[in-house]
């Protein structure tokens, strides 16, 4: 996984660790934090190394304060001192701009707040170095700003922060130094002032960034028509239309009804109102591991999911394995999925390659309507470029595409039109590719 890696993180600095999926970043973080043991080499540390995982390691059914003090609970007379614990959490939160209600149960909190809890838990143990693995993958732009505010406070107090990320914008806006990992080796380490975005991107992928094809608006007839849509507890009276050959971007902070909209359009939830859409549909779900794939199964069996009955075999009850193999091989080749074999378990692939398979499965039959929900969340530059290229190619073939994303850059790069979703309603309309970042950002946070 890793080969002869040297990495230093100084007290009080923000050090960015970048690299594609599967480059070994998370492994390196886990070794540094002592969660797994390296075969050879040494780790020297002054103070504790705290690690905040990309997929949070919180106990969902416990309260915030319970999660934070777990393992070193303040005690009084043999029982946990709940009052002291809550006061501790509040105090810590105020100091670092991480305000959370200590009495809230974790599973009721949105992703951005859960991350604060995770940070608080590590900060409670007074780390010398804090490692954040993909901390902004699920955050809205304003939450990202807030997070880096907290990180700045930490560095002022002498904590060294190692941020693992794909997002070069963040690296160049906030970090003091950058280390690039590729295939388990350090290929570059420099102060930010001595490098450029292009240089870092080239080092990450070991070559030039694939160019996204040119983007010409080709609006056709209306393909998807939603009128008066209501989903209890999430959406009230929502209407939208998508034309053939159009990508409609939905901007918004997570938890404003985007999931209900996607599920209603995919036919996965009960709704009121009318939805007219083509029968052939491809869906790229939001949560890859939970909603899109069966990690223990092979690539082949994962590609069959949802099309297990689409068969040309003579007996209609049988799965047509030969056809499935051919299709899986076609997806692997066309979408550049890098795997040992199509019979390998999907869990052996990097996140980016898993996602390419999910996208390939959704697009391979050229559906007339595509729902893409955060299609590049947590995947690297190369895989992101493949996914973007394929979405644009589907659009140019005449597909109507609903793109829900928490990344404004992604929406700007792909959308023909952008609507902003807040509290289950659509506001503002930005079209003809004249997107005003400030105006969209204001709408996203307006309640």
Partner 1 sequence: MNRESAKALAIGTFGVAAAMSLAMIASHVSPIVGFNAFFYGAFGGKQQIAETLASTTALLFPALGIAIAFRAGLFNIGAEGQLLIGGLLAGWIGTRIDVPPAIAIAAIFLAGAIGGALWGAIAGWLKAARDANEVISTLMLNFIAASLALYLVTGPLRAPDAAGPELSLLPHAYWLPTLLSHTRATIALPIALLAAFALRYVLDSTWFGYRLRAAGEAPEAARRAGISLSRVALWAMAWSGALAGMGGAALVAGELHRFNTQLSPGYGFIAIAVALVGGLEPLTICVAALAFGALESGGLALQAAAAVPKDAIHVIEGLLVFALAARRYLGARGAGAR
R_g of the chain, CA atoms, integer Å: 23
Could you say which of 54, 209, 291, 412 contacts partner 1 (CB under 8 A)? 291
Spatial contact of 264 and 229, defined as CB atoms under 8 Å apart: yes
284 binds partner 1 (CB under 8 A): no
- Of 196 and 296, nearer to partner 1 (C-beta) is 296
Determine which residue in the list 61, 279, 314, 318 makes contact with partner 1, applying CB under 8 A: 318
CA distance 383 to 399: 21
Residue 306 in the binding site for partner 1 (CB under 8 A): yes
The residue among 262 and 443 lying less far from partner 1, judged by its C-beta, is 262
Q: Report the nearest approach of partner 1 to the CB of residue 386 (Å).
A: 22
Is 275 a binder of partner 1 (CB under 8 A)?
no
The least distance separating partner 1 from the CB of residue 131, rounded to whole angstroms, comes to 17
121/174 with CB nearer partner 1: 121
Tell me the window of 138-146, 232-240, 292-300, 432-440 that interacts with partner 1 (CB under 8 A): 292-300
Using CB under 8 A as the binding rule, whether residue 266 contacts partner 1 is answered as yes
Closest to 99 (Cα-Cα) out of 150, 161, 157, 135: 150
Minimum Å distance from CB 317 to partner 1?
Answer: 5
- 296 sits near partner 1 (criterion: CB under 8 A): yes
Does residue 300 interact with partner 1 by CB under 8 A?
no
- Retrieve residue 190's tokens: 């420099």
Confirm or reject binding of residue 229 to partner 1 (CB under 8 A).
no
Is 57 a binding residue for partner 1 by CB under 8 A? The answer is yes
- Output the smallest distance, CB 57 to partner 1, in A: 7
How far is Cα 29 from Cα 43, in angstroms, rounded to an integer?
11
Expressed in angstroms, the distance from the first to the final Cα of the chain is: 46
CA 97 to chain centre: 23
Contact pick of 2, 253, 304, 444 for partner 1 (by CB under 8 A): 304
227 binds partner 1, rule: CB under 8 A: no
Q: Are 409 and 429 in contact (CB under 8 A)?
A: no
270 touches partner 1 by CB under 8 A: no
Of 145, 308, 333, 436, which one interacts with partner 1 (CB under 8 A)? 308
**Residue 216 to residues 132, 231, 327, 366, 414: CA-CA distances in angstroms?**
39, 34, 30, 19, 11
Q: Hey, which residues between 136 and 175 contact partner 1 (CB under 8 A)?
A: none
Nearest approach in angstroms of CB 291 to partner 1 is 5
Q: Which residue is associated with the tokens 């409670």? A: 124
Task: Report the DSSP beta bridge partners of residue 401.
Answer: 247, 370
Residue pair 145/112 in contact (Cβ under 8 Å)? The answer is: no
For residues 219 and 248, give the distance between their C-alpha atoms in angstroms, rounded to a whole number: 11
Q: Contact between 268 and partner 1 (CB under 8 A)?
A: yes
d(CA 131, CA 75): 29
- The answer to the question of residue 323 lying near partner 1 (CB under 8 A) is no
Tell whether residue 312 is a contact of partner 1 (CB under 8 A).
Answer: no
Instruction: Pick the binder of partner 1 from 79, 214, 290, 447 (CB under 8 A).
Output: 290
Which listed residue (311, 348, 389, 431) binds partner 1 by CB under 8 A? 311
User: Is residue 256 packed enough to be buried (19+ CB in 10 Å), middle (13-18) or exposed (0-12)?
Assistant: buried
The pair phi, psi for residue 18, each rounded to 5°, is -120, 160
Contacts of 86 (CB under 8 A, 6+ apart): 65, 102, 103
Provide, rounded to whole angstroms, the least separation between the CB of residue 176 and partner 1: 32
Region from 226-234, 298-306, 330-338, 434-442 binding partner 1, contact rule CB under 8 A: 298-306
Residue 277: strand, helix, or coil: coil
Q: Nearer to partner 1 by C-beta: 29 or 168?
A: 29
Residue found under tokens 């028509």: 225
* Token representation of residue 250: 């939905």
- Pick the stretch among 188-196, 226-234, 315-323, 417-425 that binds partner 1 (CB under 8 A): 315-323
Question: Binding of partner 1 at residue 317 (CB under 8 A)?
Answer: yes
24, 183 Cβ separation under 8 angstroms: yes
Binding site for partner 1 (CB under 8 A): 57, 266, 268, 283, 285, 290-297, 301, 304-306, 308-309, 311, 317-319, 321
């Amino acid at each position: 996984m890793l080969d002869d890696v040297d990495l230093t993180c100084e007290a009080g600095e923000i050090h960015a660790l970048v690299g594609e999926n599967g480059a070994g970043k998370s492994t390196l973080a886990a070794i540094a934090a002592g969660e797994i043991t390296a075969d050879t080499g040494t780790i020297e540390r002054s103070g504790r190394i705290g690690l905040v995982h990309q997929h949070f390691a919180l106990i969902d059914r416990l309260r915030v304060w319970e999660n934070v003090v777990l393992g070193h609970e303040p005690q009084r007379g043999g029982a946990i001192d709940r009052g002291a614990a809550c006061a501790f959490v509040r105090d810590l939160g105020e100091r670092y701009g991480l305000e959370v209600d200590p009495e809230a149960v974790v599973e009721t909190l949105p992703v951005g707040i859960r991350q604060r809890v995770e940070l608080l838990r590590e900060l409670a143990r007074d780390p010398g170095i804090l490692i954040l693995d993909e901390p902004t993958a699920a955050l809205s732009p304003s939450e990202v700003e807030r997070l880096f505010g907290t990180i700045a406070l930490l560095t002022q107090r002498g904590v060294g922060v190692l941020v693992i990320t794909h997002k070069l914008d963040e690296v160049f806006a906030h970090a003091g130094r950058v280390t690039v990992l590729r295939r388990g080796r350090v290929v570059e380490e420099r102060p930010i002032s001595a490098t450029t975005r292009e240089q870092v991107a080239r080092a990450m992928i070991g070559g030039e960034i694939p160019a996204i094809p040119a983007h010409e608006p080709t609006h056709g007839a209306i393909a998807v028509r939603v009128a008066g849509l209501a989903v209890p507890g999430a959406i009230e009276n929502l209407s939208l239309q998508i034309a053939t050959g159009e990508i409609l971007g939905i901007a918004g902070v997570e938890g404003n009804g985007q999931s209900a909209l996607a599920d209603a359009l995919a036919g996965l939830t009960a709704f009121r109102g009318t939805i007219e859409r083509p029968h052939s549909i491809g869906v790229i779900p939001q949560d890859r591991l939970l909603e899109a794939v069966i990690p223990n199964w092979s690539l082949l069996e994962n590609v069959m999911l949802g099309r297990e009955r689409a068969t040309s075999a003579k007996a209609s009850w049988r799965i047509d394995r030969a056809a499935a193999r051919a299709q899986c091989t076609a997806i692997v080749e066309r979408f550049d999925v890098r795997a040992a074999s199509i019979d390998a378990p999907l869990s052996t692939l990097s996140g980016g390659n898993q996602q390419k398979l999910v996208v390939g499965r959704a697009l391979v039959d050229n559906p007339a309507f595509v729902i893409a929900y955060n299609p590049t969340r947590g995947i690297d530059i190369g895989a992101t470029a493949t996914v973007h290229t394929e979405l644009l190619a589907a659009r140019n073939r005449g597909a109507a595409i609903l793109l829900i994303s928490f990344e404004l850059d992604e929406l700007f790069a792909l959308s023909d039109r952008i609507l902003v979703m807040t509290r289950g309603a659509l506001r503002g309309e930005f079209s003809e590719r004249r997107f005003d970042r400030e105006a969209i950002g204001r709408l996203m946070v307006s309640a």
